[in-house]
Amino acid sequence: MTAAGTRSTRLALVQHPDTQCAAVTRLDALLACDGSGQIMISYRVAGEIGRLRIPPVSAAGRTDGLWQHTCFELFIRPADEVGYREFNFSPSTQWAAYRFDRYRSGMRDAEMFAAPGISVRSTDQMFALDVTLELDEIVRTGGGSASQLGIAAVIEDIPGNRCYWALAHPPGRPDFHAQDGFAFPVPGNWLYGGGK
């Protein structure tokens, strides 16, 4: 990703009120895009990292069920579509990509131009996961129409309790697929060149 023309924004995630994770004090994501269709997301967890269950780095590859443990997620709904994409990124560097025809329906593996690039780093008070993702023609939008993004995370602590973080939560149980979670509108030309 080139520095010239790169646009970025920092987004704060909020914890679902029915889940508790005292070890985490803040979770946010820096979203950056240079207009080429490649995006970079830096997820940042602040808190007592030693109290969290973080999967160790292993061989990268497509893997299902990552959401059952600490996992960072991205949802993209192209402009004027009901279908959407879900991406899962594990601290292990494993990943998943799914395509849905509509809300939780028609799920299947999404084809990818390239595997996501995932890197992690950690201190006692901060855990970071950086992802570089090459989007494909399914999520391209034109004419400045806004796509909708949902950014989320599942954080698991040492006892095995999970808390759920997202840009916004619907009423009731945690549900990253609900419309409420697609809370960040992104102009098509922000992802694929042209204006800001």
- Residue 137 placed within a domain: yes
CA dist 48 and 62 (Å) reads 29
- Residue 106 placed within a domain: yes
- Residue 196 placed within a domain: no
Domains in the chain, number: 1
Question: Does 196 have pLDDT greater than 60?
Answer: no
Residue 117, C-beta contacts closer than 8 angstroms, at least 6 positions apart: 131, 132, 133
Question: Which pLDDT belongs to residue 89?
Answer: 98
Please, what is the average pLDDT of the chain? 88
Q: Is 124 exposed, middle or buried (0-12, 13-18, 19+ CB in 10 A)?
A: exposed
Question: Which pLDDT belongs to residue 71?
Answer: 98
Q: What is the pLDDT of residues 132-144, one digit of tens each?
A: 998 765 555 444 4
- Residue 1 placed within a domain: no
Confidence of residue 81 (pLDDT cuts 50, 70, 90): confident
> Mean pLDDT throughout 25-32?
96
CA 81 to chain centre: 19
- Residue 135 placed within a domain: yes
Question: Does 51 have pLDDT greater than 90?
Answer: yes
Question: Which pLDDT belongs to residue 64?
Answer: 96
- Residue 104 placed within a domain: yes
Question: Which pLDDT belongs to residue 49?
Answer: 98
- Residue 2 placed within a domain: no
Structural domain for 144, as ranges: 7-191
Question: Which pLDDT belongs to residue 20?
Answer: 85
Q: What is the pLDDT of residues 168-180, one digit of tens each?
A: 999 999 999 999 9
Instruction: Provide the CATH number for the domain around residue 40.
Output: 2.60.40.1190
Q: Are 127 and 52 in contact (CB under 8 A)?
A: yes
DSSP 22: T
